[in-house]
Chain A
Amino acid sequence: MKVNDAVAGALISLLSLAVLAIIKDFPPMPGQKVGPALYPGLIASGLLVCAVLLVARGWRARHAGRWIEFAAWARQPRQWLNAVAVIGLTIAFIAWSDKIGFIPTGIGLLIALFLALRARPMTAIAVAIVATIAIHAVFYNVLKVPLPWGILMPVAW
């Protein structure tokens, strides 16, 4: 999905204006001319200049294309579903892994994503279990990362 430079520029200008608004409240460094606001202020001003130039460039090119152009993939519902699956499943992991535990969430994430990417169901289940347990073994047992057990706590190994 490609947006016209003017759209990108407008978004960037909003960001830089927000930064400029926030840094107004930063206190100066006692006894110094330069405070914590100076550096982000310079960056945001630079960004604002870029944003204005992008808007100007996009405006000049407005007849050359649409405001938002959908690349070949972006016209396929299937591809959108895949992207949503990657993002949504990661968010689900963030939300639930602590409560449910790494192994069940990991297996669930893999099975769902395998199926979205059109793997065969039996393969998906088998590979998901093996891969999750292997990753768990490397990080939990070898590298000592405290991955949450969640509901599997009673049978933790």
Chain B
Amino acid sequence: MNDLALAFGMVFDPYVIGVIAASSVFGLFVGAVPGLTATMATALLVPVTFFMPPVPAVAAIVTATAMAIFSGDIPGALMRIPGTPASAAYTDEAYAMTRNGHAETALGAGLVFSALGGLFGVAVLATSAPALAEVALKFSSFEYFWLVVLGVTCAVFIATEDPLKGIASLLLGLLVSTVGLGNPAAYPRFTFGSTELMGGIGMIPMMIGMFAVSEILRFAVSIDPPLIVTAQKIGNVFKGMGAMVLRYPVQLVRGSAVGTLIGALPGAGADIAAYISYAMSKKFSKEPEKFGTGHPEGIVESGAANNGALAGAWVPALVFGIPGDSITAIVIGVLYIKGLNPGPTIFIDKTAIVYAVFIVFFLANVLMIPFGWAAIKAAKQILRLPRNLLMPIILLFCIVGAFAINNTVFDVGVMLAFGILAFVMEENGFPIAPAILGVVLGGMLEENFVSSMIKSNGDLTAFFARPISVALGATTLAIWFGPPFYRWLKRGR
């Protein structure tokens, strides 16, 4: 209880509140500009949060991402271009509503149900994470090994269309994580005599490259015509929202729950949650024929899902140090820098800070209503900003951000190299998320693998000797070998 009071004190501090307000505006802006994503918002924030105490640093990221996921709906509804990939699932629907003259209902549903889905996700995070941490305290290196393998398996098989390219991408990420001295033998691997590479490839410059520079490159080569905002008056966005909550309570809860769950799966984040929830909404709807014609039901469900996913992703990130999506992949790096090493013990040693994170999450989703309303009002001005001026400024910001971490231009080079790599990979259908997960989890995977091998003296059966590790291992192997085995069985008949 004392910790909770302490946590409230940490959050309701004028400096932290100021950071939350500023990050809200930043997040809403980034989300609303097509081509800038919530993950990019996080990558751009990291160099700034680098210089903050832990609570405001985490608060900035939590608030900015929650706001960005909502405001991605704005250009979706007004221009049929999703502001972030998380809004892509229902962009056509929202735009159809705008064309029918219901822009305010589309945006209002996006706003209100984003906030409600987010609050649901926070409730799940605040209740399930400490409970899971209790269980995780009993984990040894064998369980952690399987947990990481299960995590990357989910990222490859659930979150990607092409598992072969997903695996290749994951392995590339794992390989990147082996560079430097950070291995159990402390032997300098793949450093090629460079002292800068001794400490490994800087995670933050790399993330800025993969999530921001690659988007800038994509904008630079795009041949899309300039954006045109549909000129339409937007009325009161809150009109009829109460009735909508009463009309679609099941959709709201289902979207929030599915979203939170998908968010918690490693590698799958808000965008996949929105797609799955939209499809589910249509499947279970009493009037599926109305989907696509400007019907709010799918927006209710998937709008709640993408914001629920955001909070859900923090569950494995805080409890196990396994990111639930690309945003938490960056967050984990920030937590380490701030001395808040994720893992079950954070719930014992840093209880007040963990509570503070929950409070910030809650606050961000409540603040979304007034701030989001203001963003909708300002939408036309935001969307009229010329992107050919915005993108170069973001590039300069990225360069300074990458430089700021270690005050060296070497990291700017790392940023550029990974920006180009991410761009080329995506052009060729190699998904980025597994690579990121590989980089973030590579060290943890090796550490737990090697210490397990040493403990068991090289005996692989030890990986299946403890009850929880058997369960985790069996699940992993089932995902790997289940589908081909099933196909073989079917062919055999």
Contact = CB atoms under 8 A, between A and B. Distances in A.
Interface stretch (B34-42, B112-120, B177-185, B270-278): B177-185
B446 A39 contact: yes
Interface string A43-60: 110110011011001000
Given A33-B457, A85-B220, A132 B396 contact: yes
A93 B185 CA distance: 37
Majority secondary structure, A binding face: helix
A29 B220 contact: no
Contact of B388 (A39, A53, A87, A118): A118
A46 to B, nearest CB: 5
A145 interface: yes
Contact of B189 (A3, A26, A83, A114): A26
A31 B449 CA distance: 17
A110 B397 contact: no
Contacts of B185: 29, 35-36
Task: Determine the interface band of chain A, counting residues with CB < 8 A from chain B.
Answer: 35 or more
Contacts of B223: 72-73, 76, 79
Interface stretch (B61-69, B90-98, B358-366, B404-412): B404-412
Contacts of A44: 175
A97 B420 contact: no
Interface stretch (B166-174, B319-327, B466-474): B166-174
Interface string A127-141: 100011001001100
A100 interface: no
Given A47-B175, A86-B220, A131-B393, A94 B412 contact: yes
Majority secondary structure, B binding face: helix
A47 B453 contact: no
B73 to A, nearest CB: 27
Contact of B392 (A8, A114, A145): A114
Contacts of A10: none
Interface of B: 47-48, 50-51, 164-165, 167-168, 171-172, 174-175, 178, 183-185, 187, 189-190, 213, 216-217, 220-223, 386, 388-389, 391-393, 395-397, 399-400, 403-404, 407, 409, 412-413, 416, 420, 424, 427-430, 446, 449-450, 453-454, 457-458
25 contacts: A8-B428, A26-B189, A33-B453, A33-B458, A36-B189, A38-B450, A39-B450, A40-B175, A40-B189, A43-B175, A44-B175, A50-B168, A54-B164, A71-B427, A79-B223, A83-B217, A86-B217, A90-B399, A94-B416, A106-B396, A117-B388, A118-B388, A123-B389, A135-B396, A135-B397
